[in-house]
């Protein structure tokens, strides 16, 4: 598991192909809380820290198998 201390507020979160998924609001327990501004329903959405593949500079890349919030609750593109 990645060191949670490396995850900072306002880091970009991308899927395994580099497509924008959201922006970190904060880390809560073992989850990344995404900002509401990336959400179509103006609500926070969460990603499991275990779904992180790597952290590169100011960007978090998710594993290909990560469960990415999709549909009406997020502006993230669906594959």
Q: Is the torsion defined by CA of 35, 36, 41, 46 positive or negative?
A: positive
Q: Which residues pair with 60 in a beta bridge?
A: 13, 55
CATH of span 4-63: 2.30.30.240
Angle 15-26-5 from CA coordinates, rounded to 5°: 85
- List, run by run, the mean pLDDT of 10-residue segments along the chain (79 residues): 83 95 94 89 90 94 88 47
How confident is the model at residue 53, as a pLDDT? Answer: 96
């Amino acid at each position: 598991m990645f060191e949670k201390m490396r995850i900072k507020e306002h880091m970009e979160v991308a899927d395994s192909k580099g497509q924008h998924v959201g922006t970190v609001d904060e880390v809560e327990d073992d989850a990344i809380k995404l900002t509401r501004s990336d959400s179509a329903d103006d609500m926070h959405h969460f990603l499991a820290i275990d779904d992180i593949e790597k952290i590169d500079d100011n960007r978090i890349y998710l594993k290909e198998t990560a469960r990415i919030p999709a549909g009406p609750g997020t502006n993230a593109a669906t594959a």
